[in-house]
Amino acid sequence: MSLLIESAMVLLVLTNLTLLGLSRLRSCIRVVAVQGIVLGLLPLAAHADDLAPRIILLAGGTVALKGFVFPWMLLRALRVANVRHEVEPIVGYTLSIVIGIAGFGMSLWVGSRLTIPGAAAPPLVLPVALFTILVGLFVIVSRRKALTQVLGYLVLENGMYAFGIVLVGEIPMLVELGVLLDVFVAVLVMGIAIYHISREYDHIDVDELDALRG
Amino acid sequence: MRWGIQAALGMLLAPLLLGVITRTKAFFAGRCGAPLLQPYYDLAKLLGKGAVYSRTTSWVFRAGPVVGLAAMLMALAFMPAGGAVSPFAFAGDMLFVAGLLGLTRFFTILAALDTGSAFEGMGASREAQFSALAEPALLLGLAVLAKQSGELSLSGVMQGISASSWGVVGPELVLVSAALLIVFLTENARIPVDDPNTHLELTMIHEVMVLDHGGPDFAFILYGSAIKLWILGTLLVGLLVPVRTGNAWIDGGAFAGGMLALSVTTGVIESTMARLRLVRVPHLLVGAIALSTLALILVLR
């Protein structure tokens, strides 16, 4: 079981690094979808011994939302926005991957320093959750397109989700569903916002929004 | 004794792998393809020819293929294949083998520069750039294996990796295997990095450096690169097919099957993937370094 969780964690790290190295928006969306599916299946691996219907429901909902609905919405936003499909990073791809590796080292160090009260979590979960949060932040600040900011936000949320699902374990169902609903609405709103930005300005480059005057 | 047979088989069968790869590609393209033994015919034909040397070249140009082949054969002597332990093994011989690979490359590059052709210089510069990125991935990957098995010689490492280590550190071994596969494809000038068939001037990497070699020299280079394919393949197969029963027939059979599967896989990769743009190749190699580093961080943890 711990090998299963560990493999899932390594997969998360790999999806994060791939996201940093990819140049196509479409592939980035797919990678985040894969990450969502891995995360959605994580509760099943973490509670493999006693599978309550609650957990199966939660896993199913997460996989459906993060693995299929969000990518579909984002791909649609990309299609209707009709913009160039390059990521156009401020920090180059190779450097991004190097920064990612350094970030992972740092998360491991921080993770070994932090003591989480209560549950004895599998060893890799805390650093990987921290790393995913870091990558989400990095994607938000180092990419120009509005769409990549949504992706960064999703990755950030994924990190917190991984943190919660394995470490805390017993979050009430209602809270989980509430969070999922929030993310859903956020992605929906941001998808619409991207469409309007692109219709108004013919691009979704957030750098140039600086020049807006009220 | 076992090692002697394995090494002799390596020297004998290395060109066959090239034949299998070509055959797989032919199958995907819907052709019948060249005979499996075509690389041997090529070698025999080239060895029967005379060599022509340009007057502008020096001894470096003639030394290149000889040193390259000698270094490759020496590296082959250290490779543990199919459970056999090399009698020359010493602690740290993995670095020595990596150094021998580097020496071969160094002399190939020097020989290419020695011709004074701008075209070959271009290929040399590309080869140097890509191998500079592939080498850290290889060394970090070897470091992971050394840490995992607690041994510093290739033979010890291969004895230390067994089917049960996949149950313990499976994710790390997958990462290292992926990194080594990328190194394998890069070092052997295979498709996502270099196209062995291409003769289009602007895209060649390895091929362009050996254009001016002919006859026996070119045979040495071809044979040397076949041995290189075998050496790096041995490493990968030893990791992916960890059958260590102690029975020479079972281990050797599993190894041979693994090598065959690796050649077919290479052929499939070549048939189904397009060559990367030159500027994208460093991304792939940095990706390989990232995979190795990740695995190293995970085993050191």
* pLDDT per residue as tens digits for the range B121-154: 888 998 899 999 999 999 999 999 988 888 888 8
The pLDDT tens digits for A132-175 are: 999 999 988 888 777 888 888 888 888 888 877 766 666 666 77
At A41 the pLDDT is 84
What are the residues whose beta carbons fall under 8 Å from the beta carbon of B256, sequence distance 6 or more? Answer: B82
Token pair 């993060």 in the structure block, residue? A66
Q: In whole angstroms, what is the distance from residue A122 CA to residue A1 CA?
A: 10
Q: What is the ipTM of this complex?
A: 0.76
Residues 185-244 in B contacting A (C-alpha not used; CB under 8 Å): none
CB contact under 8 A, A21 and B170: no
CB contact under 8 A, A21 and B283: yes
The secondary structure of A4-24 as a DSSP string is HHHHHHHHHHHHHHHHHH--B
At A20 the pLDDT is 86
Query: Once rounded to an integer, what is the mean pLDDT over residues A51-62?
Result: 80
- Show the tokens assigned to A194: 């991207």
- From the list B168, B171, B293, which residue is nearest A101 (CB)? B293
CB contact under 8 A, A17 and B294: yes
Q: In whole angstroms, what is the distance from residue B64 CA to residue B115 CA?
A: 11
Query: Once rounded to an integer, what is the mean pLDDT over residues B54-60?
Result: 89
At B102 the pLDDT is 93
Q: Does residue A211 belong to any structural domain of this protein?
A: no
Number of Cβ atoms within 10 Å of the Cβ of A140: 17
Query: Once rounded to an integer, what is the mean pLDDT over residues A15-33?
Result: 86
Q: Residue B160 above 90 pLDDT? A: no
Task: State the smallest CA–CA distance between residue A132 and chain B in angstroms.
Answer: 14
CB contact under 8 A, B287 and A123: no
Q: Alpha helix (H) ranges present in A63-118?
A: 70-81, 93-113
CB contact under 8 A, A7 and B171: yes
Task: State the smallest CA–CA distance between residue B48 and chain A in angstroms.
Answer: 47
Return the minimum-mean-pLDDT range out of A168-172, B114-118, B168-172, B293-297: A168-172
Q: Does residue A196 belong to any structural domain of this protein?
A: yes
At A169 the pLDDT is 61
Q: Residue A121 above 60 pLDDT? A: yes
Range of the domain at B263: 2-300
Residue B33 is classified by DSSP as -
**Vertex B271, ends B265 and B274: CA angle to 5°?**
115
Q: Taking CB atoms and an 8 Å cutoff, what residues of chain B touch A6?
A: 171
The pLDDT tens digits for B183-237 are: 999 988 888 888 777 766 666 778 888 888 888 999 999 999 999 999 999 889 8
Token pair 């999703």 in the structure block, residue? A154
- Show the tokens assigned to B273: 């993937």
At A134 the pLDDT is 92
At B103 the pLDDT is 94
Q: In whole angstroms, what is the distance from residue B219 CA to residue B49 CA?
A: 10
CB contact under 8 A, B283 and A7: no
CB contact under 8 A, A101 and B294: yes
At A193 the pLDDT is 78
Decide which of A101 and A6 is more confident: A101
CB contact under 8 A, B286 and A98: yes
Decide which of A146 and B10 is more confident: B10
CB contact under 8 A, B298 and A10: yes
Q: Taking CB atoms and an 8 Å cutoff, what residues of chain B touch A24?
A: none
CB contact under 8 A, B175 and A101: no
Q: Does residue A210 belong to any structural domain of this protein?
A: no
| Averaged pLDDT of chain B | 87
Q: Does B132 touch chain A (CB under 8 A)?
A: no
- Say how many domains are in chain A: 1
Highest-scoring range by mean pLDDT, A138-147, B59-68, B80-89: B59-68
Query: Once rounded to an integer, what is the mean pLDDT over residues A35-44?
Result: 85
Instruction: List the one residue out of B127, B64, B71 whose CA is nearest residue B96.
Output: B71
3-state class (DSSP) for residue A205: strand
Q: Residue B21 above 70 pLDDT? A: yes
- From the list B170, B172, B290, which residue is nearest A97 (CB)? B290
| Averaged pLDDT of chain A | 80
Chain B interface disruption, residue of A93, A95, A106, A110, most B CBs within 10 A: A93
Token pair 């009220």 in the structure block, residue? A214
At A168 the pLDDT is 65
Q: Does B293 touch chain A (CB under 8 A)?
A: yes
Q: Does residue A8 belong to any structural domain of this protein?
A: yes
Q: What percent of chain B has pLDDT above 70?
A: 98
At A119 the pLDDT is 59
Q: Does B175 touch chain A (CB under 8 A)?
A: yes
The amino acid sitting at B158 is: M
Q: Taking CB atoms and an 8 Å cutoff, what residues of chain B touch A108?
A: 297, 301
Return the minimum-mean-pLDDT range out of A9-18, A98-107, B154-163, B216-225: B154-163
Range of the domain at A34: 2-205
Decide which of B89 and B132 is more confident: B132
- Say how many domains are in chain B: 1
Q: Does B171 touch chain A (CB under 8 A)?
A: yes
The pLDDT tens digits for A60-73 are: 888 888 888 888 88
What are the residues whose beta carbons fall under 8 Å from the beta carbon of B63, sequence distance 6 or more? Answer: B107, B111
At B201 the pLDDT is 65
